[in-house]
Each structure stands twice: as structure tokens, then as C-alpha cells.
Amino acid sequence: MLQAFYKIQSKEQIGKATYSFVIDCPPLAHESRCGCFVHVQCGEKPLRRPISISEIDAENGTITLVFEVRGEGTQWLSERGVGDEINILGPLGNGFFPEPDKPAIFIGGGIGCPPMLGAAQTYGKNAEAILGFRSKEHMILLEKFQACCKCVDVTTNDGSFGTKGFVTDVLRDKLQSEPDAVVYACGPMPMLKGVAELCAKRQVKCYVSLEQRMGCGIGACLVCACKTHEKDGEHMRHVCKNGPVFDAREVDFHG
């Protein structure tokens, strides 16, 4: 775990308000695993912004961060350019523990897609992806997923691209043809809840990557709480340290 300044090697606007930064950070790239995140200082803002690691290139010592402009902090970040240095704390969180020889279904909702990409890449031809967006204009990373997965389905709420509806509509059928698959999902809470319920019903293993308003990012301040029901009872876990990836069966989606 390190806190240091790293240079933006390349920058691309990949969606309406979504940016992709490749960061030159060999020490970070070597320590990172897919599903981890970094905590990025944004100008004078007192809180860092947690951003998931989308892709890791250990050989070239880079990581790719994909983020959406949501407020003043991410706006500031989006205004940084190639060559600028940004202060990053990371890698943080537990990340995914892939079993690449098994079939896996990666589900991303909106800005929940980027953290799925690196994991999907490790599964290669055993990976399928279902990506959900509000509409075609919010779609991101489709080609990247198509390049590594054997099959990619897209859903949009308004039907402007792919299947009209939600990721769960596609997942329902997919679980029929891939009953042994492991499901990994990241996206808005209602989507994760729907995915988790569907997987529980079909007895399919499901891991969800959660988002919560965060403080320190390393497990010291205890603000990013998530209620879980585990074998030994109820716990208040923390997204930054115990997560962001949780076994979906343990997460209390109402808490």
C-alpha cells in the first residue's frame, strides 16, 4: 500500500462524462489485482475519490482508471491532462479471486463496468459479459469486453441499444445455459440486489463489488459500512478493507 504521485500517461474520454486514464505507476501495477481500487486526491477536496482499477498491465507498469464525472472532485480529475501527476493511495481492497478455468459471467451496470474488465480479461474465453446502461449514449467499454469475452450482451433501459430492460432479464436465460458459472457483478445497489437474488434462487455462486461513501480507504475510519450476515452472525464490514468484493449471499442489501 503506497501513497504517491503518479503521471497520467494517456487520457481518453470514452463516454458522455466518462474518462479513462492510463497511469504510469510500476510499484502500484505490480501490487494490484483486478477488483482492487485506488483512492485519488482531487484538488483541494478533503476526501479522496475511490476509483476502481479497470485494467492492470504489470509488464508496462501501468493501471487504467475509468471514472465518471459526478461532482466537483471527479470534475477536477477529468480536467487533468497527459503528463500531469495525481496523488494516488493504493492498491486498496480485496479484489476478485478468479478461478479462470471455470466459466464466469461478468455483469456491469454503468460505471460498474470498468472493474469487471480486468477480471474478464483473466478469464479470457471462459468469460461472458452482460453490460447494462441507461441508454446507448451512456455505453462504455463495449469493444474492450468484446475483445476478451466469448460473448457480450448489452441491455439499455430505453432499448436504444441491445436488449431493452435490465441485466437480470438476460442473466435469467444465461444461467439456464451456464448453470456452473460464477457470477461477478458491479453496479447500482438495486441491480446488485436483483442479480444476487436470481443467483441465490439458481444456487449460482455470486460475488458483488460494492460502492459506499468512503473516508480513509484503508479500514481505519469505519465509515464505509456494509451489513453482512455470515455463518457466525451479523457483522458491520467495511467496503474499503473487507471488500469491495463480497460474497453476495452474505450482503444485507437492505442494511
By the 8 A CB rule, do 130 and 153 touch?
yes
Using the rule CB under 8 A, which residue among 220, 229, 230, 247 binds other proteins?
Answer: 220
By the 8 A CB rule, do 208 and 115 touch?
no
Nearest-CA neighbor of 9 among 111, 117, 86, 119? 86
- 134 by Cβ neighbours in 10 Å (0-12 / 13-18 / 19+) ranks as middle
45 binds other proteins (CB under 8 A): yes
241 binds other proteins (CB under 8 A): yes
Which CB, 70 or 150, lies closer to other proteins?
A: 70
Q: Grid coordinates representing 71?
A: 461532482
Q: Grid coordinates representing 31?
A: 501490487
Which CB, 14 or 225, lies closer to other proteins?
A: 225
41 binds other proteins (CB under 8 A): yes
Using the rule CB under 8 A, which residue among 40, 214, 245, 248 binds other proteins?
Answer: 214
229 binds other proteins (CB under 8 A): no
Instruction: Mark the segment that binds other proteins (CB under 8 A) among 16-24, 151-159, 176-184, 223-231.
Output: 223-231
CB of 226 to other proteins, least distance (A): 7
Which CB, 92 or 116, lies closer to other proteins?
A: 92
Identify residues 87-116 at the interface with other proteins (CB under 8 A): 87, 89
Using the rule CB under 8 A, which residue among 25, 36, 40, 216 binds other proteins?
Answer: 216
Using the rule CB under 8 A, which residue among 178, 205, 218, 253 binds other proteins?
Answer: 218
2 binds other proteins (CB under 8 A): yes
| Helix axis angle, 189-201 to 167-177, nearest 10° | 20
Distance CA 207, CA 112 (A): 13
Task: Kindly state the helix (H) or strand (E) to which residue 27 belongs, with its residue range.
Answer: helix 26-31
By the 8 A CB rule, do 20 and 102 touch?
no
Query: b/e for 193-223, b at 16 or more Cβ within 10 A?
Result: bbbbebbeeeebbbbbbbbeebbbbbeeeee
Which CB, 144 or 237, lies closer to other proteins?
A: 237
Which CB, 200 or 221, lies closer to other proteins?
A: 221
Which CB, 22 or 214, lies closer to other proteins?
A: 214
Interface residues with other proteins (CB under 8 A) are: 1-3, 41, 44-48, 73, 87, 89, 212-227, 234-236, 241, 255
